[in-house]
Structure 1
């Protein structure tokens, strides 16, 4: 068994819903009960990867037998829920910032340890935990989200004092950028590093309730092309904004068929895809277009 870290980068608004809401938003996104953090169910990413696998033999080997098949065959892959890592927030400078918090990074550390992955940021003694609600940490002196001369970062309606950059924040920004945008994609790596921002957990909690995307939709009559008053005229949907980055884990446990074909190393290679996937709901209206990256299980 090997454990790998997954990264999901939203290229369009991502709606992983929970059905009908009870508040102002009719169709909210899925959130963890205790933390209120958004997540994408593991079944969503596994289903999209399975649907994109055109070879029937590989599909059965990696994802298991279809429910309609008589012969049972367990899946060789176990996907966790994909949880929030970086939330894009409007910024007065630099257009937007990729925002995270101490709690999210601590939880990410736990996943990295489970996957036996080394990260330079893990050697530090959690310097970022000392942040207060009026401060933030940016990745480097080249940050594009800090107002020059003011030493402040303006996120939505919040103004935060930018503290002196720490080695820990620089290490996190550099390491995450290299995994979300691997290879020679230096342009996007630099964009992430220059927009990386750590805020207090309470500040992120506020942004999670005010900075998600709310989309108003209407239903038109098929013949009249006017608002269909009989079947619901107007409703509001919530979505994670474009550029959101989620992370999770996938465990590879080769089933009988995979072991017959070798040691199962080919499974990870098959899971890697350069093509965007559509995850979550409302795919027919362009929601949920995402890039998916899967890390190696060892090495930093």
Structure 2
């Protein structure tokens, strides 16, 4: 089975609702086994589906073919008749779309640094996850960096002594950062141990204070914090075709890629708070695939 993936470069903070709320903190979606932030596949799939559009009816047919029907599609008699006439097949609620979409994972997350401005951090766990879609890469050792070994790295909530740092050659670290204009700002990278990276990611999440004012302009019902993945984070999600056996996989893959390429500036809005400019990401198709 062919598995491709799509990169996401966050242009603004991204919030995807979590399942719990602790006190006045509204959390974001997290992986149950690592507690790391992620983007649920259903959120990505819903946004991609909406980007296809439903007008004219030809787009609606393409939307159904790629992502499967919604309940309103199977209850629309006129559409069902048109769909059957155009595709020569009946449409049911159980019809599966040709495209599957995976969860969005963090690859590199920006962390404030008093000595280097911003440093992008990752860890072996996150790099190994990404490497499953990329053959021929060697996972670096903990504390590998392209920054000078002699000087310590002063991060917002940690200090990495120069004696701990491992030299990461340019030809090696650039394999883990897409060499594209969209990711050109990622120039200072640091690989931390899994547990330290998870803690630093938690400390570096974007937190916004939200208050509700009453008619007298006084705070009503206190305040709350909302978490978000910070801008300039590099993420990715895998995708592929569900129909491999009946010969439609290649056509569906080409059709899906064509739709992605026609989106203006290849920018999507994912998650909530669109009116506040949250969740805007720039995306692009990765050039590699594994079988």
1:264-284 CA distance string (max 9 Å, x none): 422222234433111112222
Classify 1:260/1:250 alpha carbon distance in 2 versus 1 (closer, same or farther; 3 Å): closer
Q: Is 1:292 paired with 2:291? A: no
1:263 to 1:74, Cα distance in 2 relative to 1, 3 A: closer
- Give the secondary structure class of the aligned counterpart of 2:161: strand
In structure 2, what is the equivalent of residue 89 of structure 1?
A: 111
**Structure whose alpha-carbon radius of gyration is higher:** 2
Q: What is the CA distance between 1:262 and its match in structure 2?
A: 4.5
Contact kept? 1:3, 1:297, Cα under 8 Å = no
- Where 2:45 maps in the other structure, the secondary structure is helix
Contact 1:86 1:100 in 2 (8 A): yes
SS of alignment partner, residue 199 of structure 2: helix
2:3 touches 2:289 (CA, 8 Å); kept in 1? no
Deviation at 1:19, TM superposition (A): 4.4
Q: Which residue of 2 aligns with 1:46?
A: 45
Residue number in structure 2 paired with 1:9 = 9
For structure 2, the 5+ residue unaligned runs are: 54-58, 75-90
In structure 1, the residue matched to 2:161 is: 161
> Which runs of 5 or more structure 1 residues have no equivalent in the other structure?
none
Aligned 1:47-86 pairs, distance under 5 A = 47-54=46-53, 55-70=59-74, 71-72=91-92, 73-86=95-108
Matched positions, count? 263
Give per-residue Cα distances to partners, 1:192-232, cap 9 Å, x unaligned: 1x2121112122122123111111011234xx362462xx3
What's the CA shift for 1:289? 0.8
Instruction: Find out whether 1:249 has 2:238 as its counterpart.
Output: yes
- Cα distance, 1:67 vs structure 2: 2.3
Q: Does the C-alpha gap of structure 1 residues 79 and 226 become closer, same or farther in structure 2, counting only changes over 3 Å?
A: same
Which SS does the other structure have where 1:81 is aligned?
coil
The whole-number CA distance in structure 1 between the counterparts of 2:73 and 2:206 is 40
Note the C-alpha offset of 1:83. 1.2
Cα offsets for 1:175-195 (capped at 9, x unmatched): 4232xxx3xx28x52x31x21
How far off its partner does 1:95 sit? 1.8
Displacement of 1:45 in angstroms is: 1.1
Give the superposed CA RMSD. Answer: 2.9
